[in-house]
Amino acid sequence: MSTESEHSVHRLYSAADWNALHEQALQQAQALRREAWVDFWHGADSICSAGLATAQRSARRLAHSLGRHTQLRGGPAQAKWSKEV
């Protein structure tokens, strides 16, 4: 149901003006959606980059720890096993 205020708004604009206003609103909405997607992917990229950096740091720490463990045990564990076989 339409109200008196809706009718008065339609009377303020001609059909051409109303269509132009509608087209402008659609273009602004599209621009805002594009901007939102850019912001979304920028944020997602930042999260992924932070996760990747954390994973790389963890991998380096693990490699260093395994290297120290191997040194304390007297050499590569795989080499000892292959000598026993």
Q: Is 81 within 8 Å of 75 (Cβ atoms)?
A: no
Q: Based on the structure, what is the number of domains in the chain?
A: 1
Position 5 in a domain: no
Position 62 in a domain: yes
pLDDT category, 77, cuts 50, 70, 90?
low
Identity of the residue numbered 7:
H
Structural tokens at position 51: 């996760």
pLDDT over threshold 80, residue 70: yes
Position 8 in a domain: no
Position 4 in a domain: no
Q: What is the pLDDT of residue 81?
A: 52
5/11 Cα distance (integer angstroms): 10
Position 1 in a domain: no
pLDDT over threshold 80, residue 54: yes
Q: What is the pLDDT of residue 27?
A: 97
Q: What is the pLDDT of residue 17?
A: 92
